[in-house]
Structure 1
Amino acid sequence: MTGLEAMITSMERKLGVGEPNTIQEWYRQRNGPLYNGNFAWCDSTVTWAAVDSGNYDEVCFGTDYAYTVAHAARFAAAGQWTAMTQGIQGSGIQRGDIVFFDWDGSSSIGAIDHVGIVTGVSGDAVLTIEGNTANVCARRARYVHDIAGFGRPKYKLPPVKTLPTVSLKHVLAAQAADSKGAQGSAKYRAEGLLVERALKAKGKLAAKWVDGSLGTLFTAAYSGWQEEYSAKHKLGWTGADVNGKAGPTSLKALGAETGLFKAVA
């Protein structure tokens, strides 16, 4: 897993870590004896999390950082830097941004003292996780005076989930065929199983009847779901709308509500 949420999860894994610590040792092994001893480790924490979460190129541009000024300058060189000159709300700072601090209150990259990651914004407070804050990795609430600016990584987007499709035509054909035979005969079994699993997820069909056969038990379960869905959304479905036969509106709604399939014609 990569992306914004993976980066924050990695930072959360180091909450409570004090010093000296494994982050410093990890960074020392990668970058040599210059980092012997108890060196400042706020940006090496960000670097560690970027590597751990698969966001090294997005957050660190393929370079290890312990020096916050250099890291912020790299964001600026990439056109991904926003100085904190328009306030918290005006800046658009958001979850996943790499936030840099100047305790003297400037927005100058050269004056940056510290770094962390944004986990959220609450009113005038920017919520963060930071390494090497009071000698530990901890959550903080920071305000505009201390924030010099932020870099916005170009995180990879999570893959779009492709849902299997269920044809209304096939479901209706299966209902017509299966209602005349013994339970267990099935036409378009794969699609029938998807709809039955959706009804099971809604508590309308027992697991032992999820067999791909859209017979009388399925029809009763589907009818029960139609009635429940109509009441929940105040749709006023009656008669044929709740008779247990799939329709374009109800099949689409069942797929969307459960997230198990996409209904097509």
Structure 2
Amino acid sequence: MCLTSPTSTEVRSCAESPQGEPGTQSPGVNPLLSSGRAVSFGPNPSANPVGGQRRGEGPLNTGIQNLIKALESELGYTEKSDGYSKFGDWYTKNVDDSYDFGHAAWCDTFLAWGAQQAGVTAQTGQFAYTPSHAAWFKKQDAWGTKPEPGAFVFYDWSGGKGIDGVDHVGIVTSVEGSTIHTIEGNVDGQFAKRKDRDQGNVVGYGYPEKVKVAPAQPQAPAPQQKAALPSAGGSGGGTATVLAQQASAPQDAPSVELWGAFTAIILAAIAVLIVARRTVLPNARRATARKGRHHRSATTA
């Protein structure tokens, strides 16, 4: 089952094959568009080797391989009788809690879960509504019609080629001629399975490795903080601005040579004062004494 719009209760089957074989439909839902994020891939025992090479290009990056590994770990999972899936439930709890996606179509939330496990949500987007997911890739300038391992493949079972008509999504693990080998959720009775498909119902491909991820922004300087200082009386009061990271590293202690030089200067200054005291004060006493005698002599005369 796949969501046909973010507001209607109409549901289109994700399980319908390119040859028109109908799949089991789950109860109608009222899904809401969710936010975009990223995904990754892993090994595939199909025609191409694990992490197989794309045409004329190198192997998949580690993040995309890890996404595929995460999805492979859930192959064989099937939704419950009431349409519940653990991937939709996870999506509600971790991505968008505006709706109960636990009972909604889960082909796209399956991929969102795998992307989260691989840590590549910035490259793949995380959506519950497949047309919006396809549009997101196109907006990221990461959309095209060439099948590649690691690409998200979007289908329209009616054969249309417009993004608005997208019914279903999976991830390509390898390509063999005109056949694409995929991992998809919510297919053939609401299973997570590998599929081998031709490209007759493919609308297009989203390429996670072509999504430009913004580099991490440098951290801003630590803000200044106010620290209370004690008053002269010791009762506290007053404030002083101090840096938040003040004293984050110990300051180097003065060297022994510096202390020695400082001590020598102090001792020299003290010695000068002592010598000056011994030289000046006795002379002052003698001069005072002579002046006194002369004064008395003058008075006597």
| Normalised TM-score (structure 2) | 0.46
Confirm or deny that 1:140 pairs with 2:200.
Answer: no
Aligned partner of 1:22 in structure 2 is 86
Change (3 A) 1:25 1:143: same
Root-mean-square deviation (CA, aligned residues, Å) is 1.8
Alignment: residue pair count = 145
Confirm or deny that 1:74 pairs with 2:129.
Answer: no
* Matched letter for residue 56 of structure 1: T
Change (3 A) 1:9 1:155: farther
Aligned partner of 1:96 in structure 2 is 150
Aligned partner of 2:166 in structure 1 is 112
The equivalences for 1:51-200 within 5 A come to: 51-60=116-125, 64-82=126-144, 84=145, 91=146, 93-134=147-188, 135-154=190-209
Give the Å deviation of 1:98.
Answer: 0.6
Question: Are the counterparts in 2 of residues 45 and 131 from structure 1 also a CA contact under 8 Å?
Answer: yes
SS at the partner of 2:193?
strand
Aligned partner of 2:111 in structure 1 is 46
Percent identity between matched residues is 35
Question: Are the counterparts in 2 of residues 98 and 116 from structure 1 also a CA contact under 8 Å?
Answer: yes
* Separation of aligned partners in 1, 2:75 and 2:160: 28
SS at the partner of 2:200?
helix
Give the Å deviation of 1:36.
Answer: 4.8
Question: Are the counterparts in 1 of residues 89 and 102 from structure 2 also a CA contact under 8 Å?
Answer: no
Change (3 A) 1:77 1:33: closer
The equivalences for 1:222-233 within 5 A come to: none
List structure 1 runs of 4+ shifted beyond 3 angstroms: none
Aligned partner of 1:5 in structure 2 is 65
* Separation of aligned partners in 1, 2:160 and 2:197: 14
Higher helix share: 1
Give the Å deviation of 1:2.
Answer: 4.6
For each residue in 1:226-249, what CA deviation from the matched residue of structure 2 results, as whole angstroms up to 9, or x when unmatched?
xxxxxxxxxxxxxxxxxxxxxxxx
Question: Are the counterparts in 1 of residues 153 and 204 from structure 2 also a CA contact under 8 Å?
Answer: yes
For each residue in 1:97-142, what CA deviation from the matched residue of structure 2 results, as whole angstroms up to 9, or x when unmatched?
0110010112210100000000001122111000111201100011
